[in-house]
Structure 1
Amino acid sequence: MENKKVVLAYSGGLDTSYCVKYLTEEKGLEVHSVLVNTGGFTQEELVGVEARAYELGVKSHTTIEETANYYDKVVKYLIFGNILKNSTYPLSVSAERVSQALAIAKYAKTLDAAYIAHGSTGAGNDQVRFDMIFQTFLPQAEIITPIRDMKLSREEEIEYLKSKGVEMDFAKAAYSVNKGLWGTSVGGKETLTSNGFLPEEAFPTQVSKDQSESLELGFEKGELKSVNDKSFETPHEAIQYLESLAGPFGIGRDIHVGDTIIGIKGRVGFEAASAMLTIKAHQALEKHVLTKWQIYWKDQVAAFYGNWLHEGQFMDPVMRDMEAMMSNTQQKVTGKVFITLLPYRFQVNGIESDHDLMSAKFGHYGEMNNAWTGEDVKGFSKIFGNQNAIYHQVNSEL
């Protein structure tokens, strides 16, 4: 018999709902939907998504829990590198796509599926991320991408689903929302042009806190292990708890503008309170406990790592080499960071660490020194500037 099995990367949103109906009713395929949870769904939401998938007509639906693995294999290194794409975006969605694609490819192998499908458009990055992983680890399966191949607008998808009698919150579907452990991306009409910010109602987390709160984050070897007086067995649980505290302040909202993998400019909104707080707190701690050249070289490696991950090249062996380097820098990144949360912003107040290199026994910056004399500095300055002095004296430039 002809193999008509197609594994569909499914989230329950507009695009993947369209894919279910199209693949079953127009293509006559046997759809096996799979949702890979990377920290963006509650148990109640997962139950609802599964029920919805069967209502749309899938043959089977599977949920793969990937949150812990996603943190261990990806998010941990985004923290170690303090990675913000274009100094703005914490790779909220681009980072998780590789984890999702790998899990889906592995699942598709177990079903011996002839096809594998995703709901990416033809104008974004996700199509490349999914395609590269599927081509690498499931080369025998044909990739089907209805939204991309037919160049469908969200309005056309909505009209098609309505014509099939599908009922869903189409007003909410006007915005594309992707939620995960490391933040939530939000795309809509405002992000399709170069000017305009997302309205309040477009963000999944509404602002409900207006009084300042004190926050204490505890790190052990670069990983977030405690929030205020609450300790966690796993860092990803600490990240989720921090999001519940800081998200209602509206912290971590912004719009990222960047170059897509396919060469065009793009804009996407996001909210990522926990990611922004963790990165900035971690970076503040590192400034105190790492040496100048540790920070410098880690910044160079992290910039490349973040960009290569963003472009879907997570499986490049060089990524493992850079992870090893960043991990090695974290051996002394242990301590507490003190923060004040306010509506739409936060401030890092300081740190405490046994490894703090800003030790008073060596001196107070700008005031006094305890570990050297004035004569020491005179001699150091003469030697340190010697080559410049020779150059300008030989060439008489002044």
Structure 2
Amino acid sequence: MKVVLAFSGGLDTSYCAIHLSKDLGYEVHAVTVNTGGFSFEEKKELETKALKLGVASYQFLDETETFYQKGVKYLLFGNVLKNNTYPLSVSAERVFQAVAIANWANKIGAEAIAHGSTGAGNDQIRFDLVFQILCPKIKIITPIRDQQLSREQEINFLKENGVEGNWEKARYSINQGLWGTSVGGKETLTSDQYLPEEAFPGQLQKEGSETISVGFKIGEPVSINAEKNNPIEIIQQLNELGSQYAIGRDIHVGDTIIGIKGRVGFEAPAALMLIKAHHTLEKHILTKTQLKLKDQLAGWYGDMMHEGQYLDPAMRDIESFFESTQQHVIGEVKIHLAPYRFYVEGISSPYDLMKSSFGQYGEMNNAWTGDDAKGFVKILSNQGKIFNSVHYD
């Protein structure tokens, strides 16, 4: 019997690889899904590790382009920040990793799918939801969740099976991807502590400041300082540059899918810079009602993505609305970078509604008279007048 194992190379999935084969009798096919977080060297190391654990096959699926085109792009279009803070760096990745694993399991005719999630987090929900929808007849096996093993028990099991390795738990748990990196540690288990400087993957390297220009076309980033590139390359460049200034750090506090509060640190310089730049550009280009509707739908989109509901058809409906709003989101945005901070200086766009000849805010009204304004205010006050006359006169 074939089982596809979502393989990260860590303690939990290493335990699963041997347990599934030795104790449960499965033919284990390990799969790692890249959504922008693995280098070529890390890819080779994962393959070597998986094969040493005795798996029948190892597959490395690069889904970075899919992750951008079907996920990140819409998170940017919606300016999605969970609880006004978190750009869904890792939670969005998990959905696309689950989809790729489910498709692979269907392709090779697997009887089961396994992952190393515990019973205390969000990932178990995200993986299981996708598997239930895309491969409902395939059994889901979750040894770590079901057996509630301690790290010591897992380490002893691996040693007993001749697997050597540095299994001591790292001080901080790091999950890196295209849209940002999550950071978990003892401080994030509390409510009153912040992560120390050394916990973040990017360390301050640049002093002083600089201003860069990011170009957008139909809502997507297409250039940095007038040098054109594809959106993925631009995100990677901004991650590297922002990391040198230690930009994009914060701690997200939110409600998990299973109903408990959770706290996690993150470093997402490209995501935060692009969302701020894109949102600023939109505020100049879109109408008041477009912006209000987008804010509401972005909240739904972010929540559903975070909770693993990506395959719900409502998500495609929201994406269609987002795409419709982006047709004229075109222009350049200047971003000022400095150690630990950034801000948007301004924008230029052929579709900037501030360029209208109708008037300049607080200065000149060119398309209406003072009497027009008086009449407008008089009619606008009618509802308030009626309410006050009924309740207070």
Counterpart amino acid of 2:144? I
Query: CA 1:153 to 1:357, structure 2 compared with 1: closer, same or farther past 3 Å?
Result: farther
1:95 to 92, 95, 101: 92
Report sequence identity in percent: 60
**Matched positions, count:** 393
Task: Summarize the alignment of residues 184-333 of structure 1 with structure 2, pairs less than 5 Å apart.
Answer: 184-232=181-229, 234-333=230-329
Deviation at 1:14, TM superposition (A): 2.8
CA contact (8 A) 2:179 2:268 kept: yes
Deviations 1:247-285 (A, max 9, x none): 222211111111111111111111111111111110010
Aligned to 1:378: 374
Q: Where do 5+ consecutive residues of structure 1 fail to align? A: none
CA contact (8 A) 2:4 2:105 kept: yes
Task: Summarize the alignment of residues 1-398 of structure 1 with structure 2, pairs less than 5 Å apart.
Answer: 3=1, 5-171=2-168, 173-232=170-229, 234-359=230-355, 361-397=357-393
Q: Structure 2 CA distance, aligned partners of 1:12 and 1:216?
A: 39
* TM-score relative to the length of structure 2: 0.95
Instruction: Compare 139-148 and 276-285 and name the one that shifted more.
Output: 139-148
Q: Which runs of 4+ in 1 moved over 6 A?
A: none
CA contact (8 A) 2:215 2:226 kept: no
Deviation at 1:156, TM superposition (A): 4.4
Instruction: Compare 324-333 and 132-141 and name the one that shifted more.
Output: 132-141
Deviations 1:126-159 (A, max 9, x none): 1011011112222222211122112234454445
Q: Structure 2 CA distance, aligned partners of 1:18 and 1:262?
A: 25
Deviation at 1:338, TM superposition (A): 0.5
Instruction: Compare 278-287 and 247-256 and name the one that shifted more.
Output: 247-256
CA contact (8 A) 1:14 1:173 kept: no
Q: Structure 1 CA distance, aligned partners of 2:148 and 2:225?
A: 48
Q: Structure 2 CA distance, aligned partners of 1:155 and 1:358?
A: 63
Query: CA 1:87 to 1:388, structure 2 compared with 1: closer, same or farther past 3 Å?
Result: same
Q: Structure 1 CA distance, aligned partners of 2:105 and 2:162?
A: 29
Q: Structure 2 CA distance, aligned partners of 1:218 and 1:39?
A: 22
Q: Structure 1 CA distance, aligned partners of 2:271 and 2:328?
A: 21
Q: Structure 1 CA distance, aligned partners of 2:158 and 2:207?
A: 41
Q: Structure 2 CA distance, aligned partners of 1:156 and 1:249?
A: 41
Q: Structure 2 CA distance, aligned partners of 1:205 and 1:376?
A: 56
CA contact (8 A) 1:154 1:174 kept: no
Q: Structure 1 CA distance, aligned partners of 2:242 and 2:334?
A: 14
CA contact (8 A) 1:219 1:225 kept: yes
CA contact (8 A) 2:214 2:226 kept: no
Q: Structure 2 CA distance, aligned partners of 1:223 and 1:144?
A: 39
Instruction: Compare 78-87 and 185-194 and name the one that shifted more.
Output: 185-194
Q: Where do 5+ consecutive residues of structure 2 fail to align? A: none
Counterpart amino acid of 2:42? E
Instruction: Compare 173-182 and 45-54 and name the one that shifted more.
Output: 173-182
Deviations 1:21-65 (A, max 9, x none): 332333343221111111111222211211121122222110111
Query: CA 1:366 to 1:55, structure 2 compared with 1: closer, same or farther past 3 Å?
Result: same
Counterpart amino acid of 2:17? V
3-state SS in 2 of match to 1:313: coil
Deviations 1:101-149 (A, max 9, x none): 1111111112211221111111011101101111222222221112211
Deviations 1:160-207 (A, max 9, x none): 445545444445634322211111112222222223222333322222
Query: CA 1:239 to 1:155, structure 2 compared with 1: closer, same or farther past 3 Å?
Result: farther
